[in-house]
Every structure is written in structure tokens, then in C-alpha cells.
């Protein structure tokens, strides 16, 4: 899985934000979402996979229309403010469509999914932000965001698998 390898590379790179502690925090956040949503971790991972696909599409569109800097700013903002970044990623109609899709694939109801979105978005964004350059370093760009946007277009990115692998790693 290429993007998880990117996460591991970012953890080993002293110029990147990633750390084992952050990875553990992300796994813990996913467990908290499962508890808050009265869902099991497998269902939450499935939901994260579906939401991650929608986030990927939204960030690709943002990259095409506003450039990579706008994407990186949105990722940074989303690490702390899932509710605030949600309308920047998706219109209310898109949020409803996401909720319906997630509900169909996970067995959760659409209202549960709508409530989960502001909690799931920061998980996705924190994963991506691990590739950000630390302040005061010469590092540039974010290889995780680049891998997530999957410039070769093969669709080989799955947030649920990343959460599962991170949980096993921890």
C-alpha cells in the first residue's frame, strides 16, 4: 500500500510532521468516532474508506481549480476543524449523497453518518498532514497529499485500509 509507506517514510523523516504519537492519536480518534456513533471499528473503517474517496475527489477538484497550496491549506485547517472545513469540501447536497452512500455500504443510517462527518474529516486530514514539512526545515510540499491525490489515477487509496494498518502498527 503506497500511501501507508509514505506515512512510514514521513515518520522516519525528521523534516516532516509525522510521528508514532500522531499515528496513535489518529487511531484513537477513529475509535472515539466508533464509540460516539455506536458503531464497531470495522464499520467505522468502512465509513472512513467511503468518506476518504469523496475527500480525495474534492481535493483533486480543489487542486485543479485553485492549486496545490489551496489543498495543503485545506488539509491543515481540516486537522482541527472538521465542521468548519466540511462545507469547503462538500455542498449540503453532496453531504447528503455521501451519507446515503456510506449508509448503503456500512449499514449505518444516514443521520449517523451526517453526525460522523465532522469527526471523520479530521482523521483523514490528520493522516494527510503528517507529510507536511516541519516549521523551520527546508522540506517542501507534502508527499502524503500527493500520494493521496494519486496523480496516476489508479484509485489505489483507501482510508479504511490505512486505519487498519495503522492500528496493527500501533
User: What's the pLDDT band for 110 if we cut at 50, 70, 90?
Assistant: very high
- Rounded Cα gap, residues 32 and 42, in angstroms: 13
Bridge partners for 133 per DSSP: 16
Contacts of 61 (CB under 8 A, 6+ apart): none
Q: What is the mean pLDDT of residues 86-90?
A: 95
Q: How high is the mean pLDDT of the chain?
A: 85
Domain coordinates in residue numbering, the chain = 20-132+139-169
User: What's the pLDDT band for 169 if we cut at 50, 70, 90?
Assistant: low
Q: Which residue has the higher pLDDT, 162 or 101?
A: 101
Q: Is the pLDDT of residue 117 over 50?
A: yes
Q: Is the pLDDT of residue 7 over 90?
A: no
Q: What is the pLDDT of residue 14?
A: 92
- Rounded Cα gap, residues 31 and 117, in angstroms: 14
User: What's the pLDDT band for 34 if we cut at 50, 70, 90?
Assistant: confident
Bridge partners for 16 per DSSP: 133
b/e per residue, 30-44, with b = 16+ CB within 10 A? beebbeebebebebb
- Rounded Cα gap, residues 78 and 75, in angstroms: 5
Q: Is the pLDDT of residue 163 over 70?
A: no
pLDDT digits (tens, 9 = 90+) for 9-30: 899 999 999 998 988 898 888 8
Q: What is the pLDDT of residue 170?
A: 47
pLDDT digits (tens, 9 = 90+) for 118-149: 998 998 899 899 999 998 888 888 888 888 88
pLDDT above 70 coverage of the chain, percent: 86
Helical residues (DSSP H) of the chain, grouped into ranges: 2-12, 20-36, 41-66, 68-78, 82-89, 92-106, 110-129, 143-149, 159-169
Amino acid at each position: 500500500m503506497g500511501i501507508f509507506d509514505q506515512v512510514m517514510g514521513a515518520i522516519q523523516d525528521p523534516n516532516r510532521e509525522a510521528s508514532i504519537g500522531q499515528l496513535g492519536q489518529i487511531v484513537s480518534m477513529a475509535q472515539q468516532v466508533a464509540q460516539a456513533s455506536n458503531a464497531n471499528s470495522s464499520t467505522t473503517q468502512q465509513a472512513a474508506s467511503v468518506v476518504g474517496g469523496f475527500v480525495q475527489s474534492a481535493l483533486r477538484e480543489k487542486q485543479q481549480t485553485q492549486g496545490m497550496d489551496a489543498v495543503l491549506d485545506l488539509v491543515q485547517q481540516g486537522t482541527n476543524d472538521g465542521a468548519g472545513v466540511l462545507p469547503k469540501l462538500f455542498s449540503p447536497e453532496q453531504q447528503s449523497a455521501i451519507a446515503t452512500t456510506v449508509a448503503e455500504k456500512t449499514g449505518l443510517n444516514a443521520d449517523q453518518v451526517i453526525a460522523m462527518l465532522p469527526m471523520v474529516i479530521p482523521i483523514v486530514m490528520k493522516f494527510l498532514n503528517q507529510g507536511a514539512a516541519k516549521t523551520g526545515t527546508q522540506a517542501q510540499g507534502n508527499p502524503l497529499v500527493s500520494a493521496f491525490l494519486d496523480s496516476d489515477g489508479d484509485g489505489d487509496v483507501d482510508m479504511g485500509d490505512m486505519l487498519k494498518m495503522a492500528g496493527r502498527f500501533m
